[in-house]
Amino acid sequence: MAGFAAAIVALLAAAGLLAALYLAHKRNCSLPQAIALLKLRSLFRLQLPDRSAPAERPVIHVYARQSGLDVAVLWSFLDRRCLHLLHEKDQRSLFLFGLRLIGETAYAGDIAAIEAALAAGQSVSVPCPPEIEPQPQTLRGYGTLAALARKHGAGLRALHVRGSRFSQWSVHPRSKAPRHLLPRMRLGQSDLLGFDDTSPADNGATDPRDEDRVHDLMALARFRSNNLERGLFLAFRDACDIYGKAGPVLEDALGGKLTYKRTLIGARALGAKLEAMSQPGEALGILLPNANAVIVTFLALQSAGRVAAMLNYTAGPAALVSALSTARIRTVLSSRAFVDKAGLEAPVAAIENAGVKIVWLEELRESISVLEKANAFVNWRRPLRPVRASDPAVILFTSGSEGTPKGVVLSHTNIHANAAQAEARIDISVADRLFNVLPVFHCFGLTGGAILPLFYGVRLFLYPSPLHYRNLPAVAREVRPSIMFGTDTFLAGYARTAKDTDFESLRLIVAGAEAVRAETRRIYRERFNATVIEGFGMTETAPVAAVNSSSHNKDGTVGRLLPAMSLRLEPVEGINDAGRLYVSGPNIMLGYMLASEPGKLQPLSSGWHDSGDIVAVDEDGYIAIRGRAKRFAKIAGEMVSLGAIELMVQQLWPEDFHAAVAVKDRRKGERIVLVTTRMPALRDELREFSRRFGATELMVPGEIINVSEIPLLGSGKTDYVTAQKIADEWISSHRTDNSKA
């Protein structure tokens, strides 16, 4: 018997050796590297990117050291002659004894060893601190490595080992990275950065932009370490595998708490019902508030291979019916309790009168049998229907702030990619709790406020309405979030009613959808010790396109472009210091659905999306929004930004709210009308301030209209359609005076 066992062991060893020899030949690596790679694949299910063609010059490989496993992965993947600089702990690790014995290693920080290797034509791997948002000294280290690459004619590439942070050798505290015995790992790598076209004239000289270039490579490698070839249901299940033991991850104002597993069981059970009443790929409407039920319903549709059409219940009956027609929606999922509490009887009647069926979730839940529940419990890890990551997953409708809303069709990859792009730039962990008040029918509320936190282990609290200015701060005091998303309008409203202790748990607020006023930043910094960072996006980019961060933040801008995205600026007549922004990347929508051709996807023809925004980009890559192309007025032949006028007025009257619109003028073509809550708002005071502000006379509004509130959309954006109607009606009623102007 012992002889038989020995024979089996010898046979397995021989098979392993043959596999290693084949792998060594296939990957052109050494036998020890191949053996290490086989072990890593077997134990940690390691996935590697395609190996790049051998570089004609040495390469400095930089990576954020998440654990002691990282260098083992890189040693098995990189060129056999690569010199690996080892962190102090890796120099002493028994686990890495074989690497130190066989491979070429040196101490981290040994610049002389790096220079000697590069001079000899060897590549080098260099560990860096693990933070997503690097400290200044880390950024300076990036610049040093770039200068060494330039001096020796080397390239520079970033790598990232996703999953190693959850291993027993993790450098992160357990409070931020739950431990697993054998976590799944995946290696991501950036493009190769050369310095031929970006270098200063002197060989080896530093370039102040090098720090940002290397930082961007690190973010790109981190982004690429995600597996985006998964449907959203499976991506949520992957998050469950990593973070599922941490307890409830989803909570709402009704007191409900759900773990990852309970959420998936509920989605699987509900999905079976939805599958029976619809066709594969069909869009079903979701008319629900921010509550646990909307997440379960969303995932149920993803499990069933259906498309979730997120309906804006604040838009009014006509807009809802238009959205249903545009996306050819035959069924809407809603809740009787929600409709009764929110007073949505009129929109519901309009939906039913349009011939669309409303399915009440309370009744559907009651119809799920014990056998169906048991089936969901057993098969909770598997979606009901396989999907491709490129398939449509969501239809969202543009806010209609400047015209008729359109249906924006986003794929599984679009949404997953945008969450991954944000995670590569913003430091979040299981130690965080996100307080989401933004409605999930808005893309910022869906991707940023729901999918992003759940995919990366951040506990999520859903609040049903951002308009509860008095109640919401008190809820935040009980929930104690560390992160919140919002718009400037909402944040200013909360600050007016909040006590100083209500938001004391916050460390970070990400604001978007409209420009953030300096006054809002100041209030949250001084009263609550929270940092407000501004981002920029649109529904068509799922939605985030650029964002500031703690390490890269410039007031007056919306930050730098997210990893894996590209931009170009097209010239605009009459504007010299900015251009019309076009963007491309994995988060760009599949296309539009238009009311003129219901149900038909209008795909992007070139992969580039015209944002309709006029922006300026500085030498460091920070994007400053000049305004919407449609929100420029042409006065006496000169283009004037309505957004810039609003910023000017906000500096003069920071505690009030303002909207600038343009009306026709017989002499100058157009003129500016300011709709404002300021009372009184004196034009002479504004004209005097404009001179100190450095504005031209054309930027001073010709008329000022006082209102009690600036009209808002459900997303928190200014409703410029309504603001324009207010201005037009006011001008019409004062036509006699206007004709004399």
pLDDT for 1-11, tens place per residue?
A: 666 666 666 66
Please give the order of strands across the beta sheet that includes 544-547: 257-258, 250-252, 459-462, 433-436, 483-486, 508-511, 531-537, 544-547, 560-561
Q: 153, 156, 123: which is closest to 141 by C-alpha?
A: 156
CB 254: neighbour CB atoms within 10 A?
A: 13
Indicate whether 36 pLDDT > 90: no
Tell me, what's the pLDDT at 88? 86
Same domain, 92 and 124: yes
Chain mean position to CA 399: 19
Q: Which of 232-236, 317-321, 717-721 has the lowest mean pLDDT?
A: 717-721
Tell me, what's the pLDDT at 741? 39
Instruction: Find the mean pLDDT for residues 641-655.
Output: 74
Same domain, 189 and 267: no
The tokens describing 540, both together, are 């068509």
Q: Output the domain CATH number for residue 462.
A: 3.40.50.12780
Residue 333's domain comprises 232-624
Instruction: Find the mean pLDDT for residues 528-546.
Output: 89
Cα→Cα distances 122→77, 126, 254, 357, 623, Å: 15, 13, 61, 67, 38
Of all residues in the chain, what percent carry a pLDDT higher than 70? 88
Tell me, what's the pLDDT at 740? 41
Q: Report if residue 631 sits inside a domain.
A: no
> Can you say whether the dihedral through the CA atoms of 43, 47, 53, 56 is positive or negative?
negative
pLDDT for 174-184, tens place per residue?
A: 989 999 999 99
Q: Report if residue 732 sits inside a domain.
A: yes
Tell me, what's the pLDDT at 727? 79
Same domain, 330 and 448: yes
Same domain, 383 and 477: yes
> How many structural domains are present in the chain?
4
Indicate whether 619 pLDDT > 90: no
> How far, in Å, CA of 460 to CA of 251, rounded?
6
Same domain, 511 and 655: no
Instruction: Find the mean pLDDT for residues 342-347.
Output: 89
Indicate whether 632 pLDDT > 70: no
Tell me, what's the pLDDT at 302? 96
pLDDT for 140-169, tens place per residue?
A: 999 999 999 999 999 999 999 999 999 999
Tell me, what's the pLDDT at 25? 55
Tell me, what's the pLDDT at 739? 44
Residue 400 binned pLDDT confidence (cut-offs 50, 70, 90):
low
Same domain, 571 and 612: yes
**Which range in 62-71, 612-621, 722-731 is most confidently predicted, on average pLDDT?**
62-71
Q: Report if residue 629 sits inside a domain.
A: no
Chain mean position to CA 189: 20
> How far, in Å, CA of 640 to CA of 296, rounded?
47
For helices 232-243 and 260-276, what crossing angle results, to 10°?
A: 160
Same domain, 174 and 220: yes
Same domain, 359 and 318: yes
**Which range in 295-299, 544-548, 706-710 is most confidently predicted, on average pLDDT?**
295-299
Tell me, what's the pLDDT at 696? 66
Select the more confidently predicted residue: 34 or 48: 48
pLDDT for 431-483, tens place per residue?
A: 999 999 988 998 889 999 999 999 999 999 999 888 888 888 889 889 999 99
pLDDT for 222-252, tens place per residue?
A: 999 999 999 999 999 999 999 988 789 999 9
Of all residues in the chain, what percent carry a pLDDT higher than 90? 45
Helix (H) or strand (E) holding 75: helix 69-77
The tokens describing 128, both together, are 């860096």
| DSSP 8-state symbol, 193 | B
Same domain, 317 and 212: no
Q: What is the mean pLDDT of the chain?
A: 85
Same domain, 599 and 620: yes
Cα→Cα distances 181→169, 191, 483, Å: 10, 32, 30
Q: Output the domain CATH number for residue 651.
A: 3.30.300.30
On the CB side of 23, CA atoms within 13 Å amount to 19
> How far, in Å, CA of 581 to CA of 215, rounded?
23
| DSSP 8-state symbol, 540 | G
Tell me, what's the pLDDT at 265? 96
Tell me, what's the pLDDT at 738? 45
Tell me, what's the pLDDT at 29? 66
Instruction: Find the mean pLDDT for residues 117-135.
Output: 91
Same domain, 600 and 715: no
Tell me, what's the pLDDT at 287? 95
Are 66 and 161 spatial neighbours (Cβ–Cβ below 8 Å)? yes
Tell me, what's the pLDDT at 636? 55
pTM of the prediction?
0.86
Indicate whether 528 pLDDT > 50: yes
DSSP codes joined into one string, 48-61:
-PPPPPPPSS-EEE
